[in-house]
Chain A
Amino acid sequence: MIADFGFFALLTALMLAVYGCAAAIFGYLRKVPKWVGSARAAALLAFPLLTLSALSLVYSLVSLDFQIEYVAQVTSRSMPLYLRATALWGGQAGSLLFWSWLMSAFASAVMLRDWRRDRDLQPWVILVCLATLGFFLSLILFFENPFVRLWQGTTGTVWTALWQPGGAQAYLPFDGNGLNPLLRHPGMIIHPPMLYLGFVSFVIPFAFAIAALVTGRSDDRWIRVTRRWTLVAWLFLSLGLLLGSRWAYDVLGWGGYWGWDPVEIAAFMPWLTGTAFLHSVMIQEKRGLFKHWNLLLIILTYDLVIFGTFLTRSGVLSSVHAFAQSAIGPMFFIFIAVTLVASLALLSKRWQTLKSDVQMTSLLSREALFLLNNFLFISILLICFLGVIFPLASEILTGQQITVGPIYYETATGPLWAALLLLMGVAPLSAWRASTARTLGRAIWKPLIGSLLVVAVLLLNGMRHPGALLGFWLCAYVVLVTLYEFWRGAFARQAKGENFALALWRLVARNRRRYGGYVIHLGVVLIAIGIIGIEFFQQETQGQLAIGERLQVGGYAVEYKELAEFQTSDGRLVDRAVVNVYRDGVFVRELYPRQDFYMESRQPMTIPGLHSSWEVDVYVLLVSWEPISNANATFKLYVNPLVSWVWLGGMVFIFGTLVAAWPEREAELVRLPARARGLPAEARG
């Protein structure tokens, strides 16, 4: 019953999406606004329908209706209530429904804004949003339907169908498979929603960009309208990536947080173009430059989002090969190919009208540096894309299966990240239009000296690694430049009579985007510090310990104290070790690395014992493929310096984005009689 209801709501939503697309085009071609209004209504209606559809699936999950195949796949009796609800995005079909629901939510939100100034853009925004929504809904309906149920024929075979086949009875498994144990971690619960929120919200700026292209507009209206969307989309995507890393760190059990897995890269690539886009649009707003860049970047972001959505389907992490081998791989490919070619053709057609007539006078001006910024991000993107596509190409062209591992990505992109850090410290000091080496130099030299002092301190303390020294130097430099910007602005206001704290507050409040952006830059630097620490200075060791024996590395020692074995109420068999952590011989604390064995899915999961400090993370793992007993157990010990700064940087990120995105009181559109404005007669009424 509920499944039927959910299915019909889904089907109706698809029909609305198709109708909306047709109505929008028809309204545009015939210049009849009523049809566009109807399309808008269709878009608005899709949201409550999909909400009902998603709710019916969630209800089935929570009530453990195992006749529904999806419920049997991702839930089980032993799962607690909240996990059953979040199993909505625990499998392919459910996560596609979840994505569609988010898309309809955002499309509706866009429909509710004030369109009076943008009537010409409206049909195309509706079209793009509904076409994307329609694509995902048709994937669900034709390929991955979460509402198919299990039926058993007279011969005993079980198969899936939407409605009761003749001669078959409902098949109700006693228990479901349960959610993949890897997904039962809090980080993994909110990581997919965050990521999908980021993905979906980038569709809106893209929709406006296409609308601007189709209607031939060469101004930046579409950018200013979607400015906050872009910022919020970027925030969610960044958070999604950070949460994913945190989850990997906590649960995947190899002491790291980013493996340069093709699936991770697929979610990372839209972030690269999205960040470039975020910066580049500022130039178009201020100076009317980079119009081609911005359109290109948002088109790339959109198609990378679609690509990333498929590859990062909730559930088991898999590879690009899974994309190829699944049934919906070709559908995604066709959609991406068609949208990419169509958008680029549109851009190509409008190329000449987008040329700006502005001049740039200096190589060191802010515009030039932003061009450099775009170039660096695109280069990193191309390198990542090459790494993902190369094994495919190699297999086709030479028949050889090769792997492109982390070393490639780290070596190839490392210098580019360093260049970006440097830019973060130079661009804020450069001026619009013109900046000479001298003016820039005058602004730079103080933070530069300060950062070199930091390097000197590090050298004195024995650090010799050249990469780390360079990295820390850049980080220190950027922090000093950014803080200097805050100080400089507040100081200027203070000179007019405000006290410093008030000056600072007002400064940020009046220039939220700029100073929020600076706070985000500080967050990025903190993340960079954490990454430098763990990438260059991580130490690890593995060893078998009897009770009382110690394992040591890098000044830290871990002593095996005892083992407890017990069963939990949610179906796990747990081996929990108690270890003492010592630093230079002094007791620090106890940690409890454990192995959870999920009995129904027969999958083990290793949860590390983690001791975090600002200086270092001590990370202890029970090695699950060696025997674990009271007599002997094998442990892996990682010492990860500075990694906590990554998570701290993430929080500063969030704070900075909130500052930047906080609504200001905008100039309101006020209706005035035309004659009062002195407009020519033709324009009135």
Chain B
Amino acid sequence: MKILSLLPGIILLLAVYAGPAAAQGPTPSVDEVNAIAKNLYCPVCANVPLDACGTAACAQWRQQISDLLIAGHSEQQIYDYFVQQYGPGVLATPPPGGLNWLIYLLPPAVVLLGAALVWRSLAAWRKKKPRSKPATTGENKYSKMIEDELKARR
């Protein structure tokens, strides 16, 4: 079972190193590699995108991207390869699936829920009848008189 999950990675690796197979692209430019590296994070250093990372390891990974591009892989295949090799933490956005759906669904849900609550508040406000004054517990009624006077002088 484990072998099956490794199959895509192994195939990719074989495709890269088994010599010229199907479509072999031209050497990608640094900008093309960086465009893909931008969406990946350095697996070792925290919060550093792969195109801005200066370590030797990151240079190797950018070279890996280049090799994969030469072998004709698409951008999505490269991302899948990196996820398989280093875990889903290398992607800038969590891959959809399992718990990760929450990160995609919660923001709009929060906004919609909030908007609904606001709407309800506004509607209730408009219908509200003036209540009797709430008990001014703990407030000296004279201090309140003074406060009101001062406010009126503003």
Which residues of A pack against B, CB within 8 Å? 117, 120, 215-219, 221, 253-254, 259, 261-262, 317-319, 321, 352-353, 355, 357-363, 368, 371-372, 375, 378-379, 382-383, 386-387, 390, 393-394, 397-398, 400-408, 412, 416, 540-544, 604, 624-625, 667, 679, 683
Complex CA–CA separation, A352 to B131 (angstroms): 12
Chain B residues with CB under 8 Å of A360's CB are: 122, 125-126
Q: Is the CB of B107 within 8 A of A412?
A: yes
**B106 located at the interface, meaning its Cβ lies under 8 Å from any Cβ of chain A in the complex:** yes
Q: Return the chain B residue nearest A400 by Cβ.
A: B88
Chain A residues with CB under 8 Å of B136's CB are: 218
A219-B144, A542-B30 as given contacts; A408 in contact with B110, CB under 8 Å: no
Q: Can you list 23 residue pairs at the A/B interface with Cβ under 8 Å?
A: A215-B138, A353-B135, A355-B131, A357-B134, A360-B122, A360-B125, A379-B111, A383-B110, A386-B106, A390-B94, A393-B99, A400-B89, A400-B99, A402-B89, A405-B39, A405-B41, A407-B92, A408-B103, A412-B107, A541-B30, A542-B31, A667-B153, A683-B142
A363-B122, A383-B107, A403-B89 as given contacts; A541 in contact with B133, CB under 8 Å: no
Complex CA–CA separation, A357 to B138 (angstroms): 19
Q: Return the chain A residue nearest B154 by Cβ.
A: A667
**B52 located at the interface, meaning its Cβ lies under 8 Å from any Cβ of chain A in the complex:** yes
Complex CA–CA separation, A262 to B121 (angstroms): 33
Complex CA–CA separation, A506 to B95 (angstroms): 58
- B95-138 contacts to A, CB under 8 A, are 95, 98-100, 102-103, 106-108, 110-111, 114-115, 117-118, 121-122, 125-126, 128, 130-138
Chain B residues with CB under 8 Å of A543's CB are: 30
Q: Is the CB of B46 within 8 A of A318?
A: yes
Chain B residues with CB under 8 Å of A368's CB are: 122
Q: Is the CB of B54 within 8 A of A625?
A: yes
Q: Return the chain B residue nearest A541 by Cβ.
A: B31
Q: Is the CB of B93 within 8 A of A405?
A: yes
Chain B residues with CB under 8 Å of A624's CB are: 54
Pick from A216, A359, A540: contact of B125, CB below 8 A. A359
Chain B residues with CB under 8 Å of A372's CB are: 118
**B91 located at the interface, meaning its Cβ lies under 8 Å from any Cβ of chain A in the complex:** yes
Q: Is the CB of A404 within 8 A of B103?
A: yes
A685 to chain B, nearest CB (A): 12
Complex CA–CA separation, A254 to B30 (angstroms): 15
Chain B residues with CB under 8 Å of A215's CB are: 138
Complex CA–CA separation, A669 to B105 (angstroms): 55
Q: Is the CB of B114 within 8 A of A378?
A: yes
Chain A residues with CB under 8 Å of B117's CB are: 375
Which residues of B pack against A, CB within 8 Å? 30-31, 34, 39, 41, 46-47, 49, 51-52, 54-56, 58-59, 87-95, 98-100, 102-103, 106-108, 110-111, 114-115, 117-118, 121-122, 125-126, 128, 130-139, 142-144, 147, 150, 153-154
Complex CA–CA separation, A385 to B104 (angstroms): 14
Pick from A120, A253, A262, A359: contact of B128, CB below 8 A. A359
Complex CA–CA separation, A360 to B128 (angstroms): 8
Q: Is the CB of B103 within 8 A of A390?
A: yes
Chain A residues with CB under 8 Å of B107's CB are: 383, 386, 412
Q: Return the chain B residue nearest A411 by Cβ.
A: B107
Given contacts A359-B125, A379-B114, A400-B99, 9 further A-B contacts (CB under 8 A): A218-B136, A261-B47, A362-B126, A379-B111, A394-B94, A400-B89, A400-B98, A402-B88, A624-B54
Q: Is the CB of A357 within 8 A of B130?
A: yes
B52 to chain A, nearest CB (A): 4
Chain B residues with CB under 8 Å of A216's CB are: 137-139
Q: Is the CB of A375 within 8 A of B115?
A: yes
Complex CA–CA separation, A313 to B116 (angstroms): 39
Q: Is the CB of B92 within 8 A of A352?
A: no
Chain B residues with CB under 8 Å of A667's CB are: 150, 153-154
Complex CA–CA separation, A405 to B88 (angstroms): 12
A312 to chain B, nearest CB (A): 14
Chain A residues with CB under 8 Å of B122's CB are: 360, 363, 368, 371
A544 to chain B, nearest CB (A): 8
Complex CA–CA separation, A542 to B135 (angstroms): 69
B40 to chain A, nearest CB (A): 9
Q: Is the CB of A604 within 8 A of B54?
A: yes
Q: Is the CB of A254 within 8 A of B49?
A: yes
A280 to chain B, nearest CB (A): 13
Chain A residues with CB under 8 Å of B93's CB are: 404-405, 407-408
A160 to chain B, nearest CB (A): 27
Q: Is the CB of B103 within 8 A of A386?
A: yes
A-B pairs, top 5 by smallest CB distance, nearest first, are A405-B92, A216-B138, A625-B54, A254-B52, A401-B89
Chain B residues with CB under 8 Å of A379's CB are: 110-111, 114
Q: Is the CB of A625 within 8 A of B55?
A: yes
Chain A residues with CB under 8 Å of B111's CB are: 379, 416
Q: Is the CB of B46 within 8 A of A319?
A: yes
Most chain B CB within 10 A, of A372, A398, A403, is at A403
Chain B residues with CB under 8 Å of A218's CB are: 134, 136, 139
Chain A residues with CB under 8 Å of B46's CB are: 318-319, 321
Q: Return the chain A residue nearest B133 by Cβ.
A: A357
Complex CA–CA separation, A489 to B79 (angstroms): 57
Complex CA–CA separation, A106 to B35 (angstroms): 48
Complex CA–CA separation, A444 to B128 (angstroms): 29
Complex CA–CA separation, A242 to B114 (angstroms): 29
Q: Return the chain A residue nearest B95 by Cβ.
A: A402
Complex CA–CA separation, A358 to B88 (angstroms): 52
Q: Is the CB of A403 within 8 A of B100?
A: no
Pick from B52, B59, B88, B102: contact of A253, CB below 8 A. B52
Q: Is the CB of B34 within 8 A of A542?
A: yes
Q: Is the CB of A401 within 8 A of B87?
A: yes
Chain B residues with CB under 8 Å of A355's CB are: 131, 134
Most chain B CB within 10 A, of A261, A352, A361, A401, is at A401
Q: Return the chain B residue nearest A604 by Cβ.
A: B54
B55 to chain A, nearest CB (A): 7
Chain B residues with CB under 8 Å of A398's CB are: 98-99
B61 to chain A, nearest CB (A): 12
Chain B residues with CB under 8 Å of A383's CB are: 107, 110
Q: Return the chain A residue nearest B110 by Cβ.
A: A382
Q: Is the CB of A375 within 8 A of B118?
A: yes
Chain B residues with CB under 8 Å of A541's CB are: 30-31
A261-B47, A355-B131, A403-B41 as given contacts; A361 in contact with B147, CB under 8 Å: no
Chain A residues with CB under 8 Å of B128's CB are: 359
A319 to chain B, nearest CB (A): 4
